[in-house]
Amino acid sequence: MIPVRGYAGRKVAVLGLGRSGLATARALAAGDAIPICWDDGEAARTVAHDEGFTVADLSRDAAWDGIDALITSPGIPHLYPAPHPAIAKAWQNGAVVDNDIGLFFRSFATQEWDEFERAPRVICITGSNGKSTTTALVAHVLRAAGMSVQMGGNIGRGVLDMDPATDGGVVVLELSSYQTELARALSPDIAVFTNLTPDHLDRHGGMGGYFAAKRRLFAEGGPERSIIGVDEVEGRYLAQQLREETATGDPVIRVSSGQKLSGDGWSVFARKGHLAEWRKGRQVASFDLREMAGLPGAHNHQNACAAYAVGRSLGLGPRQIETGMRSYPGLRHRCQVIATINGVRYVNDSKATNADAAEQALRAFKNIHWIAGGVPKAGGISSLIPLMDHVTSSYLIGEAAPAFAQDLTDFPHEISGTMQQAVASAHSAAQPGDTVLLAPACASFDQFPSFEARGEMFEALVAALAG
């Protein structure tokens, strides 16, 4: 646990009592603050009460007597489409509003660091797609190189639930736009921007607000090294803003999947399955990504480029990084190869909850038996029609099945209805060399409580097929 500094003897409200909220309350108490907790759900309030925390309805003025700050969980709106009532009350009563990321950055560094031989490092990774895989890949590569690594944030452990810093230790954090937008303190040593595609626009008031939330990590965080994906215009803009007015472009490393990056600056890119590092106008390292089972497809090659750039920024050699990547098993529910049965590959990409994410998976394989459907997102799957030459047949489940069937009128498909039927049909039809791919392009909440639960059912059904 990271005890929160700066609030000893003071009341601090905690809004939202899930994984990060409870960890925040405990860390505040460890720093001698007085947590006042609230959650809109009665079950979460009961858990907090049973742990000994004071619970008070923060939507009422009476609860705010003596409270100096409000720490809110990332899923709770604070601006758009409308502030949560408790956040509005915090403003009215003069309490500052922050989140656990802000508390982490004000509390992680301590006087004990003066005794360390090597300063701890914090790496933060944000973006629309690929940030979870990039975070997990960075942590894996660094551990394989013998470093002491903790991973958390939007994946794994809550930031305040982590252990205090150790000599030379590295913390790798995945940060969502919800987390970067509100944090009052941001000070990463290395920050990574993977890419930007439309998402969470209702929470940010549009694409400009969404990009601005991501940009705070760099513009206000002031990292020593910025690793920027430049395959979209926002990334190119950000890289240009952060680079120095020199030929080297320090402290920026540009990364890309699919294009060769020119110029004298530091760049890492993947083309035709090969990763290349260029500095000062010449290639300094290269290796083949195509046989790395945990990193299938061009979208994962972009993740690999970003992770490689992190490793190089921390002083690892190219072969050290390559060796670590070869042993990376893949991140669960994210284009993860879970089995090969009679020559048929089974891939769990349950995290592909929109068409943009499903597109990456469809590009990564051929001869696909595609399982899709759930609660449809705006736009449906019409954007995926040009990729149907990769798909042998589709198996549609959940609420979206009838609408998706209309989009796929000209292509082989079946309205399976359930995951069980879809897996059975795909297994029956697949031939050696084919891929059965779960990439739903939908939310899960019609038939499953989460994308994880959806992926777990797929894994269980495939395991039963394997005997």
Per the annotation, binding residues for ATP are 127-133
Q: Name the pairing type of β-strands 344-348 and 336-341.
A: antiparallel
CA pair distance 203, 214, nearest whole angstrom: 13
State which amino acid sits at residue 371.
Answer: I
Which residues on adjacent β-strands are paired with residue 344? 341
Binding residues: 127-133
- 293 and 118 in contact (C-beta within 8 Å)? no
428: its two tokens: 């029956």
CA distances, 89 to each of 60, 95, 96 (Å)? 8, 9, 11
Both tokens of 20, joined, read 């990060």
Any idea of the CA torsion for 85, 87, 90, 92, to the nearest 10 degrees?
A: -60
* Residue carrying structure tokens 């989009």: 407
- Residue 323, Ramachandran bin (φ over 0: left; ψ between -120 and 50: alpha; else beta): alpha
Residue from 145, 140, 118, 136 nearest 194 by CA: 136
How far apart CA 47 and CA 136 sit, in angstroms, is 30
Contact 265, 243 (CB under 8 A): yes
